[in-house]
Structure 1
Amino acid sequence: MDRAWTWEHEVPPRWLLADEYSGDLNVLSLPMALCAEIDGLFVDPEPPAAETYTLLGCDPAGSLRETLRHIGTDRAWLPRVILDPLHDPHQPPPADCHRYDRGCSCAVELMDVQVIGHRPSIFGAGLVDIDLRGHSLILPEQHWPPAQPLEGTTGFLLSDHDDQDLGRCHSTAGVFRERRPPPLHPVTLIGCQPETPLRPLLAHPSPHRRRLQVALYAVDQTGLAVPTGQALFATMTDSRASRLSEGLLDITVDGGIDEPFPVGAREIWQMWHRGRPTQPNLWAAYDRVLRHEWAGAALRHHRQERPDLPSGYTFHLDGRFVTDIEGFYCAVGEAVNGPGGYFGWNLDALADCVQGEWGAAAPFHLVWHHAEVARRHLVSGYDRPTYDQRRWGPATTLHDLLDILADGGSTVDLR
């Protein structure tokens, strides 16, 4: 964001709140406040608790049926169970639910599933009730899965992440139920300078008029502001003089940030505040969670206007610390765009980057040094990254990465 403010305080601003949600094209990205700190932006989330479910009146097939023979062992486990609701074909499907070959588009996914028991079912001879323990795919912005099955549901088709048939069941218990919303972490805007649009709202008697709907930008020491991908939707409940500097305010809001950064990411954003990293492999000391945050910060600070290096260019990837998929994204970002560089932070993003316009024109040549590290660590299996429950699933392998690079026309020399 172009600089559109003045700051005359000793403590530097690190965060900008900008209006991007008013719907008025004339005020998009309008600065609302500059703040020295945001208490509540960096919070370590609680690990998701496992839930217990029962598939009722189940006719299991495939690997689900096989697990019933191994209950009590590690083999009674499935990476994912997808429940596709069935509906009366003579009735229209529920709203926002569209039929396709297998069932209905309003599917529910259970992940990291342990089969813990089974017994004969009252729903029919040969059918069983199967008890599971795992995690449901919950998208907070959609409040999914709902508290009740969709109206008209007559059963569920079961499948795994590879679309292999696991059978069907009559109904479920524990999948559809009231769930507590994720906790809201309190947020205080510390050492803030309200800009002109925010000043009258702070004193307005109506809570509705004190509502903030702002995007959060990180401000570096030169005054450049870059989007963080975070937003704050909350009502200002209190403001008071800040101890940081005369003329600044501490502002309390009644809500929080949906998915705060982990606490350790504060150090990463502070590093970027001081300027772009100048040394390679500074990310290597971080764990998987913070390597992911490093790549995210690199994405936010990527300058898209920078021209690609020409097609056919040779890049050198330092593979000494590629002990996980997050380490690969950090390493390939630096190989292409230098220390702190970005070149993808998930498979879809990598596939996009190899097509060009992210620092390297396609095709290019990649020399992957110390590739034996990735050969040992980027292997098949099941991945449980704790920072994003929705990413649980099959691990990304070295072969997967090589396929994406090859699909972009690039060549890789593993050394």
Structure 2
Amino acid sequence: MLRIADDTGWDRGFPVKYLLVQEGEDGGEQLWGRCAGIEGLFVDPVPPPREVLTLRGYRPGGLLGDVLADPESSPRSLGDVCVEVWDGEAPVQWWTLVDAVVVAHRPHPADPERYDVVLGAGVRSEESFFELPAAPRFELFAGTTAAASGAGRCSAVDGLFRDRADPAPVPMELIGCEPTEPLLAALRRPRRSERDWARLLVLDRHGAVMASCCVGLAITGARPSVLGGALVDITLTDGGDDRPSPAVRPIWVR
């Protein structure tokens, strides 16, 4: 079993600030390496590319209804808009229109009380568990939290259902890393598997774990460390999606 206190000290002129650990097949955690520094720990998520979508047969409600009531208001930012795809009495798919903006709108041809609304937005697919229903209903919400308010509904969203490339991973640099045998083996024989993920434990000035994040173990390169000795600097291809924002860096420092 991993004992944090046993792995936070080494005989060097700078402290251990990070531990790289992976869960073993027996459920226990195994140390992969100790590191003096990390470059790329604080990263804002890469926003999805902008797209143009059309809400067909939109029945106004909430924030978006307020926008349509003022013909001079376009373009206007709506913030993030959640789109729920309903099958009967329950939602089965969730999408987020990131930083949605109303570009244009006009009355729906079949019903003058409804609209066709053109939006510009980034599109992010949340977890979806079912195929598109035969007769879907689209419910819109202003915001993506449990407190999000209703923003109307529509009969279709043109441009929503299409293939999108996954965003390119953002790498991370392990600086001054002392690898253990599992990481040395990965350096000798790079490979990928469903188990090639680990936790990066962030230590405070007393050697206690104050945070952790999930990182990929695919290695782009390794070289003798800029900190010298037998340490190495390792580039991870994917530093993971749950890294803290640069805005919180001063708090972590304190």
Whether the 8 Å contact between 1:219 and 1:225 is mirrored in structure 2 is yes
Q: Identity of paired residues, percent?
A: 29
Task: Determine if the alignment matches structure 1 residue 208 to structure 2 residue 211.
Answer: no
Distance 1:85 1:262, change over 3 A: closer
Distance 2:232 2:76 in 1: 56
2:34 matched residue in structure 1: 34
Residue 186 of structure 1, CA deviation = 1.8
In structure 2, the residue matched to 1:217 is 201
Match of 2:93 in 1: 106
State the Cα deviation string for residues 52-73 of structure 1 (Å, max 9, x = none).
3211133445664453230332
4+ residue runs of structure 1 moved beyond 6 angstroms?
74-77, 162-165
- The separation in 2 between residues aligned to 1:216 and 1:46, in whole angstroms, is 21
TM-score, with length taken from structure 2: 0.75
CA shift in 2, pair 1:225/1:23, >3 Å: farther
Rate the CA distance shift 1:145–1:58 in 2: closer, same or farther, 3 A: farther
Q: 1:31 to 1:135 in 2, by over 3 A?
A: same
- The answer to whether the aligner puts 1:254 opposite 2:237 as a matched pair is yes
One-letter code aligned to 2:215? L
Q: How do 1:66-85 residues align onto structure 2 when only pairs under 5 Å count?
A: 66-73=66-73, 81-85=81-85
Partner of 2:17: 14
2-structure distance, mates of 1:105, 1:9: 55
Number of the residue aligned with 2:212: 229
How much has 1:41 moved relative to structure 2?
A: 1.2
Judged with a 3 Å threshold, the aligned counterparts in structure 2 of structure 1 residues 225 and 121 are, in CA distance, closer, same or farther, namely: same
Q: How many residues align?
A: 244
Taking the aligned partners of 2:236 and 2:102, their CA distance within structure 1 comes to: 44
SS in 2 for 1:8: coil
Q: Which has the higher contact order (CA 8 A, sep 6+)?
A: 2
CA distance in 1, matches of 2:252, 2:80: 35
Q: Deviations for 1:266-308, whole angstroms, at most 9, x for unmatched residues?
A: 444344xxxxxxxxxxxxxxxxxxxxxxxxxxxxxxxxxxxxx
CA–CA distance in 2 between the matches of 1:246 and 1:163?
54
Which runs of 5 or more structure 2 residues have no equivalent in the other structure? none
Q: Which digits, 9 at most, give the CA deviation of each residue in 1:100-127, with x for residues without a partner?
A: 3xxx2423344654433222445x2435
Q: Which position in structure 2 is the counterpart of 1:4?
A: 6
Counterpart-to-counterpart distance in 1, 2:41 and 2:232:
17
Structure 1 gaps of 5+ residues are 90-98, 272-415
CA distance in structure 2 between the aligned counterparts of 1:151 and 1:167, rounded to whole angstroms: 20
What SS does the aligned partner of 1:269 have?
Answer: helix
126, 134, 140: which one aligns with 1:144: 126
Distance of 1:189 and 1:175 partners within structure 2: 38
- Contact 1:155–1:169, Cα closer than 8 Å, also in 2: no
Match in the other structure for 2:135: 154
Instruction: Give the conservation status (yes or no) of the 8 Å contact 1:113–1:135.
Output: yes
Alpha-carbon deviation of 1:172? 0.9
CA–CA distance in structure 2, aligned partners of residues 154 and 57 of structure 1 = 14
For residues 266-415 of structure 1, the aligned pairs below 5 Å read 266-271=249-254
1:189 aligned residue: 174
- Quote the residue 1:131 is aligned against: 118
When the two chains are superposed, the root-mean-square deviation of aligned CA atoms in Å is 3.5
Q: Separation in 2 of the partners of 1:9 and 1:225?
A: 19
Task: Kindly provide the CA deviation profile for residues 154-201 of structure 1, in whole angstroms up to 9, marking residues without a partner as x.
Answer: 242435457876554221123333334333222221111112443333
CA deviation map 1:195-223 (0-9, x unaligned) = 2443333223x5137x742211123444x
Q: What is residue 328 of structure 1 aligned with on the other side?
A: none
1:249 CA displacement: 1.1
CA contact (8 A) 2:75 2:103 kept: no
The 1:270–1:135 alpha-carbon spacing in structure 2 relative to 1, beyond 3 Å, is same
